[in-house]
A and B are shown apart, each in its own frame.
Chain A
């Protein structure tokens, strides 16, 4: 009995997912959407870090310049 419940539930779950995916093109797009949203968020973060890095580099250059001036 337990084995039937597990196997049938698993197959049922997989079937519902697959049929939904196969029969509704809009749904396919909708299900895939989060990965693109996430990619966009990642891109923005990478840009932010790059910007931070540029600021860091600029700060470092300024520090070197100030040091030179002191000398």
Chain B
């Protein structure tokens, strides 16, 4: 009896015994659609916040980071997980001729996946219990149930394959077995190990998981759908089973070895990075082989017009080619250096998950659903769904890719950060608009599966078959009866290959996880300062809040070994810097700037104001408000806000306190290591390049005419604190101590303005603006100067000047100095430098006001208890004479 006949008899018999568990196909399909709609709504909510940051109000559970966690887990586990399970309930019995293990087990698996993993997982991350690891955001307690569900899935779907033997397994079967086995191995590795090892070592494992989640779970199951549906619909075998197997083993070998390409130019050993880059390039080649085979299998078919599932599969195949070639290219150092952390990568991940995998998943659902005798089916609605999804996802991916290139250009040429945010806004708007056809597409998909007549799918199928009788032409004549020796050879080769695949997986963990970890330990031992700065209790709590709120999804803490990063954010991040970060906070995207050295760039009041009402201090900011951490005002923070600010202020402190004592030692320890030399020879060795400084060299500032550029910069950078009119009454002014200066009440020399703009004012909320081009700072200085109001002051009497001099000498000289230049002998004891009256002259009224009221938050106290009104007026007159007006 031929093998073919044996199989067909088996299948026919089994089919009549209700081989396919259609209720579970139905249940998982519906669950998938419910999950995708919720996950996409989360995605829309977070995308809207890119240009309407306050759109969701102050509902803390809807905070950006939490929604982002719910979005990614919803797409991967809720949508794709359910879609794949629905397909498996149809495909495994067809592939094996056997029922899945147990219907009751299937009900348990359905309940576990949706009501113990997805629902509680979403509720937990939205209520702030989460894990800050990309594609692993559900907390560890949920991971336990995910692993249990994966075990149940393996029990449910694997036995039918093994009962039939391995030698005649079709490629879809290989992918299904591979996905179930390797996801079970990779999931605990990616979700648990980063919680156990800190910093860069944690990142090495995270990188592995990010790629394993896509490469070992999503891609194999999506490919199993493509390889299943194409022959099922066209009625012809695939072009080459040999090429499909070459692709299968190539993918399972190379996917896990790609992991470290998410951290190119990082401190992870370069050998591991280069290995991942090479594996990425080879993977691109393998994918071309796979896609060629799939497209050759589709050639000449007329079923694309008739079968909607096949249409989804074709587009999935094309998306797979594009996303894989794109992935291989962006892993290469020259492109990675430019586009990493930009929206290019977000476009890439959406093309993978919402393009390739989603189209494959829909293809699988539509194909399986159409064959449920009692299910409704509306081909018209499904056809509309297809086009809407193609249009929506294409617009989104193209838009994000262009946005990424725009951001890359601005980051490379050193433009201020706000420019990349401002210029991205139109693209972010289009990204949100692209969700309209996407949501409409999914709603129509849902409608298409729940409307129409019962059994309409099968009726349509029968009609198609009737119209195209040739489609079912048997191909079994091509099957040859193999010799026993070859069967043995093949069986053995598959066993060897299966063992090798397990070996490859272990190899990937060894090469890209364990070995880099050992290398990083050696680096840490050699380079770590002896007295390492550790987190205080408050800072540690703040770090947990930072993780919980998803801050790392917009702010990296990883300065790469690239010129653009070093000039903007400071010296590259070294392995020892994350020794107390478990898991790491390196991040994968920069919507906002890197925060590795952020602690020295803004003061505490500024951070509190920024958390409470971000746009009060940074008018162009798109950061969500965290006003839930306050009692109604930025100057009434709850403990959470104080902890978070403590953590933010601690960032970079360890590095700043560690060197330069050790840099010469490190240079000599690794004389030939280009990367180490790069890390310890930055212009500002330890600190953020934008750190406020008391003094230092100044570039040449020139007088510039009033310009629109100056006004634009004022509105962008300064108006939040100083107000539109420069009176120091901006939205954030009441929360800052000392209050922002009232610029209408001062004359400034050009040098003073240059000094403040270039160095900031340490101890106050006034930051340094060294990231703004010099021409812009000149324009800004001219704009500030123009605020000064003319004051008609009667000339002082001689007696007044003598009194003023006496008062000044007795009370002011300790801080402001004999010459009024702010260089009194007490200066070194003051947190905020006293005013230098030679470079800035207050109006008479402002001087009197300050002497009467003092400056809250500084060492300048009110003098009304020691000086009389005439004395205050006299000294106010007197100090005006110090001003050295420029010609």
**Does A associate with B in a complex?**
yes
List residues of B (540-589) whose CB comes within 8 Å of A's CBs. none
Please, what's the 1-or-0 string for A22-52, where 1 marks a CB less than 8 Å from any CB in chain B?
A: 0010111111111111111111111111101
Q: How many residues of A contact B (CB 8 A)?
A: 45
Indicate if the CB atoms of A37 and B249 lie closer than 8 Å.
Answer: no
Indicate if the CB atoms of A36 and B237 lie closer than 8 Å.
Answer: yes
A14 at interface by CB-CB < 8 Å? yes
Cβ–Cβ < 8 Å partners of B461 in chain A: 46, 49-50, 53
B278 at interface by CB-CB < 8 Å? yes
Known: A44-B12, A46-B472, A48-B15. A10 touches B250 (CB 8 A): yes
Known: A35-B170, A35-B237, A41-B94. A2 touches B271 (CB 8 A): yes
Known: A10-B253, A29-B482, A40-B476. A34 touches B8 (CB 8 A): no
Q: B461 to nearest A CB, angstroms?
A: 6
Cβ–Cβ < 8 Å partners of B278 in chain A: 3, 6-7
Cβ–Cβ < 8 Å partners of B885 in chain A: none
Among A30, A31, A48, the residue within 8 A (CB) of B16 is A48
Indicate if the CB atoms of A50 and B465 lie closer than 8 Å.
Answer: yes
For the complex, give the distance between the alpha carbons of A6 and B480 in Å.
36
For the complex, give the distance between the alpha carbons of A19 and B474 in Å.
30
Indicate if the CB atoms of B241 and A35 lie closer than 8 Å.
Answer: yes
Cβ–Cβ < 8 Å partners of A14 in chain B: 246, 250
Q: B504 to nearest A CB, angstroms?
A: 8
B288 at interface by CB-CB < 8 Å? no
B668 at interface by CB-CB < 8 Å? no
Indicate if the CB atoms of B11 and A33 lie closer than 8 Å.
Answer: no
Q: B96 to nearest A CB, angstroms?
A: 9
For the complex, give the distance between the alpha carbons of A21 and B479 in Å.
16
Question: For chains A and B in complex, what number of residue pairs have CB atoms within 8 angstroms?
Answer: 169
A56 at interface by CB-CB < 8 Å? yes
Cβ–Cβ < 8 Å partners of A52 in chain B: 373, 458
Indicate if the CB atoms of A37 and B231 lie closer than 8 Å.
Answer: no
Cβ–Cβ < 8 Å partners of A36 in chain B: 4, 237, 475-476, 478-479
Indicate if the CB atoms of B472 and A43 lie closer than 8 Å.
Answer: yes
Indicate if the CB atoms of A46 and B274 lie closer than 8 Å.
Answer: no
Cβ–Cβ < 8 Å partners of B250 in chain A: 10, 13-14
**Contacting chain A: which of B74-82, B485-493, B697-705?**
B485-493
Indicate if the CB atoms of A3 and B274 lie closer than 8 Å.
Answer: yes
Among B272, B476, B483, B490, the residue within 8 A (CB) of A39 is B476
| Chain A interface SS verdict (over half) | helix
Among A9, A24, A39, the residue within 8 A (CB) of B236 is A39
B58 at interface by CB-CB < 8 Å? no
Cβ–Cβ < 8 Å partners of B490 in chain A: 27, 30-31
For the complex, give the distance between the alpha carbons of A3 and B479 in Å.
40
Known: A48-B12, A52-B458. A40 touches B4 (CB 8 A): yes
A71 at interface by CB-CB < 8 Å? no
Known: A35-B238, A43-B472. A10 touches B455 (CB 8 A): no
B88 at interface by CB-CB < 8 Å? no
Indicate if the CB atoms of A53 and B11 lie closer than 8 Å.
Answer: no
Among B169, B246, B465, the residue within 8 A (CB) of A34 is B169
Q: How many residues of B contact A (CB 8 A)?
A: 68
For the complex, give the distance between the alpha carbons of A50 and B462 in Å.
6
Indicate if the CB atoms of A44 and B11 lie closer than 8 Å.
Answer: yes
Q: A11 to nearest B CB, angstroms?
A: 9
Q: A50 to nearest B CB, angstroms?
A: 5
For the complex, give the distance between the alpha carbons of A41 and B702 in Å.
82
For the complex, give the distance between the alpha carbons of A30 and B483 in Å.
9
For the complex, give the distance between the alpha carbons of A16 and B457 in Å.
44
For the complex, give the distance between the alpha carbons of A36 and B475 in Å.
6
Known: A10-B250, A50-B465. A45 touches B94 (CB 8 A): yes
Indicate if the CB atoms of B8 and A44 lie closer than 8 Å.
Answer: yes
Q: B3 to nearest A CB, angstroms?
A: 7
B506 at interface by CB-CB < 8 Å? no
Residue of B with least CB distance to A31: B242
Indicate if the CB atoms of A41 and B97 lie closer than 8 Å.
Answer: yes
Indicate if the CB atoms of A3 and B458 lie closer than 8 Å.
Answer: no
For the complex, give the distance between the alpha carbons of A36 and B240 in Å.
11
Indicate if the CB atoms of B231 and A49 lie closer than 8 Å.
Answer: no
Indicate if the CB atoms of B459 and A44 lie closer than 8 Å.
Answer: no
For the complex, give the distance between the alpha carbons of A30 and B459 in Å.
36
Indicate if the CB atoms of B282 and A17 lie closer than 8 Å.
Answer: no
Cβ–Cβ < 8 Å partners of B271 in chain A: 1-3
Indicate if the CB atoms of A37 and B462 lie closer than 8 Å.
Answer: no
Please, what's the 1-or-0 string for B10-26, where 1 marks a CB less than 8 Å from any CB in chain A?
A: 01100110000000000
Q: A6 to nearest B CB, angstroms?
A: 5
Among B231, B249, B459, B482, the residue within 8 A (CB) of A42 is B231
Q: A23 to nearest B CB, angstroms?
A: 12
Cβ–Cβ < 8 Å partners of A20 in chain B: 493
For the complex, give the distance between the alpha carbons of A42 and B242 in Å.
20
Indicate if the CB atoms of A38 and B95 lie closer than 8 Å.
Answer: yes
Among B94, B95, B244, B257, the residue within 8 A (CB) of A6 is B257
For the complex, give the distance between the alpha carbons of A24 and B172 in Å.
24
B7 at interface by CB-CB < 8 Å? yes
For the complex, give the distance between the alpha carbons of A11 and B493 in Å.
17
Indicate if the CB atoms of B458 and A49 lie closer than 8 Å.
Answer: yes
Cβ–Cβ < 8 Å partners of A3 in chain B: 271, 274-275, 278
Residue of A with least CB distance to B20: A45
For the complex, give the distance between the alpha carbons of A36 and B650 in Å.
65
B604 at interface by CB-CB < 8 Å? no
B232 at interface by CB-CB < 8 Å? yes
Among A1, A26, A38, the residue within 8 A (CB) of B482 is A26
Cβ–Cβ < 8 Å partners of A47 in chain B: 12
B279 at interface by CB-CB < 8 Å? yes
Known: A2-B511, A17-B245, A53-B459. A39 touches B97 (CB 8 A): no
B667 at interface by CB-CB < 8 Å? no
Indicate if the CB atoms of A27 and B489 lie closer than 8 Å.
Answer: yes
For the complex, give the distance between the alpha carbons of A40 and B171 in Å.
15
Cβ–Cβ < 8 Å partners of A48 in chain B: 12, 15-16
Cβ–Cβ < 8 Å partners of A7 in chain B: 278, 282
B371 at interface by CB-CB < 8 Å? yes
For the complex, give the distance between the alpha carbons of A11 and B462 in Å.
46
Indicate if the CB atoms of A34 and B168 lie closer than 8 Å.
Answer: yes
B801 at interface by CB-CB < 8 Å? no
Q: B411 to nearest A CB, angstroms?
A: 28
B254 at interface by CB-CB < 8 Å? yes
Q: B185 to nearest A CB, angstroms?
A: 19
For the complex, give the distance between the alpha carbons of A17 and B247 in Å.
11
List residues of B (453-477) whose CB comes within 8 Å of A's CBs. 455, 458-459, 461-462, 465, 472, 474-476
For the complex, give the distance between the alpha carbons of A28 and B511 in Å.
34
Residue of A with least CB distance to B289: A14
Most buried by A among B7, B170, B231: B170
Q: Which residues of A contact B (CB under 8 A)?
A: 1-3, 5-7, 9-10, 13-14, 17-18, 20-21, 24, 26-50, 52-54, 56-57
A-B contact pairs, 12 of them (CB 8 A): A6-B511, A30-B482, A33-B480, A37-B4, A38-B95, A39-B476, A40-B8, A42-B94, A44-B12, A44-B15, A52-B373, A53-B455
Known A2-B511, A44-B8; further 9 A-B contacts with Cβ < 8 A: A2-B272, A3-B275, A14-B250, A28-B242, A37-B170, A41-B11, A45-B15, A48-B16, A53-B373
6 residue pairs, one from A and one from B, having the closest CB atoms: A2-B275, A36-B479, A29-B480, A35-B237, A48-B15, A38-B170
